C-alpha cells in the first residue's frame, strides 16, 4: 500500500535518505523490492523533517499527489535540507480513496509526524474533525494523535481487534523520538554510526539491515533501539 522511512540521528541531507540510495523511496515508488500489496507507489509522496538549525523546531512538510520520481523541484532542493529527524513516504492509494496532497503522509498534529503503511476500515475509527483528509490513514492518524503516542501500542492493538483485516504499520517521530509498529507488513532497521533508519524495506544492500518481526513496537531514542511485542488477537 505504501513504503515509508524514518531517520533519527545526526543531521544528514534529506536527499541522502530518500533519493540517493540505490533502492530508496524514489526507486520504491516504481520498483519496490518487498512490497506485498500493490505494485507501484505513484499516488503521492511526502517528506517531513525537523530543522537541524532550529532547536525545538516544529515539523516541516513537503507533500504532493504526484509520483516522487517526477518531482524535479524536490530533487533540486532536498540535498540542501538537513535534519536529524525525518519521516518520508510514497503512497499507493487504496481503491476508492482520493488522490490529493493532504492524503499523503506524513500527517501531523503540530508536534509529531506520522506515516501509515497499510489499510484499515474507517468504520471502526471514530470520526474526527482533526483528520487532514478522508482517507483511512488520515483518520487513523487523528485517532493516534488524540490518544497520545505513549499509548500507541494499545491503540494499534485495539484497532487491530476491531478490524482483523487491518494492516497497521505506523511510523512516527517528534524530533527526538522515533516509534514504529509492525502489524501485517514489513519493516527493517539499520543501525549506523550516525543514527538509526527504520524503513518498510532496506534502501540498499548493507549487511547490517535487520528485519523487525511482525506485531512489534519499535522505539528509537538516541542510539538505543527497543522492540516490544504487541499482544492482540492473532
* Tens digit of each residue's pLDDT (9 = 90 or more) over 172-187: 999 999 999 999 999 9
Residue 137 lies in a domain: yes
If one counts the domains in the chain, the total is 1
Q: What is the largest distance, in Å, between two alpha-carbon atoms of the chain?
A: 46
| Number of Cβ atoms within 10 Å of the Cβ of 165 | 9
pLDDT at 56: 75
Residue 117 lies in a domain: yes
Residue 208 lies in a domain: yes
Given a cut of 90, whether residue 38 has pLDDT beyond it is no
How large a percentage of the chain has pLDDT more than 70? Answer: 98
Given a cut of 80, whether residue 232 has pLDDT beyond it is no
Whether 2 contacts 91, CB under 8 Å:
yes
pTM for this predicted structure:
0.95
Residue 39 lies in a domain: yes
The single residue of 1, 2, 87, 197 carrying the catalytic annotation is 2
**Interval 199-224: pLDDT, tens:** 999 999 999 999 999 999 999 998 89
Whether 118 contacts 184, CB under 8 Å:
yes
Average pLDDT value over all residues in the chain: 95
First to last CA, the chain: 21
The secondary structure of 52-114 as a DSSP string is TTSTTPPPEEEEESS-GGG-HHHHHHGGG-EEEEEEEEEE-PPTT---SGGGSSPEESSS-EE
Whether 231 contacts 158, CB under 8 Å:
no
Residue 234 lies in a domain: no
DSSP summary character for residue 213: P
Which residue, among 83, 87, 18, has the nearest Cα to 51 in the 3D structure? 83
| Parallel/antiparallel/unpaired status of strands 45-51 and 82-91 | antiparallel
Given a cut of 60, whether residue 234 has pLDDT beyond it is no
**Interval 109-152: pLDDT, tens:** 999 999 999 999 999 999 999 999 999 999 999 999 999 999 99
CATH of the domain at 19: 3.60.20.10
| Alpha-carbon span 47 to 6, nearest angstrom | 10
* Domain hosting residue 53, numbered range: 2-229
CA torsion sign for 17, 22, 24, 27 is positive
DSSP summary character for residue 6: E
Residue 150 lies in a domain: yes
Active site annotation includes 2: yes
pLDDT at 54: 77
Amino acid at each position: 500500500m505504501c513504503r515509508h522511512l524514518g531517520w533519527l540521528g545526526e543531521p544528514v541531507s534529506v536527499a541522502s535518505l530518500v533519493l540517493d540510495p540505490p533502492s530508496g523511496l524514489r526507486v520504491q515508488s516504481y520498483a519496490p523490492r518487498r512490497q506485498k500489496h500493490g505494485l507501484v507507489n505513484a499516488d503521492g509522496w511526502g517528506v517531513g523533517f525537523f530543522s537541524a538549525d532550529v532547536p525545538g523546531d516544529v515539523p516541516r512538510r513537503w507533500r504532493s499527489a504526484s509520483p516522487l520520481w517526477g518531482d524535479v523541484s524536490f530533487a533540486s532542493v532536498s540535498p540542501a535540507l538537513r535534519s536529524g529527524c525525518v519521516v518520508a513516504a510514497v503512497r499507493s492509494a487504496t481503491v476508492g480513496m482520493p488522490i490529493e496532497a493532504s492524503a499523503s503522509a506524513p500527517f501531523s498534529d503540530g508536534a509529531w509526524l506520522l506515516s501509515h503503511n497499510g489499510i484499515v476500515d474507517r468504520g471502526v475509527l471514530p470520526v474526527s474533525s482533526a483528520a487532514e483528509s478522508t482517507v483511512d490513514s488520515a483518520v487513523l492518524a487523528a485517532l493516534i494523535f488524540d490518544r497520545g503516542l505513549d499509548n500507541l501500542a494499545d491503540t494499534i492493538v485495539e484497532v487491530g481487534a476491531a478490524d482483523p483485516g487491518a494492516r497497521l504499520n505506523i511510523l512516527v517521530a517528534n524530533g527526538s523520538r522515533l516509534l514504529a509498529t509492525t502489524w501485517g507488513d514489513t519493516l527493517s532497521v539499520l543501525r549506523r554510526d550516525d543514527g538509526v533508519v527504520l524503513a518498510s524495506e532496506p534502501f540498499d544492500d548493507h549487511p547490517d539491515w535487520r528485519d523487525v518481526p511482525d506485531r512489534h513496537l519499535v522505539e528509537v531514542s538516541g542510539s538505543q533501539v527497543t522492540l516490544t511485542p504487541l499482544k492482540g488477537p492473532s
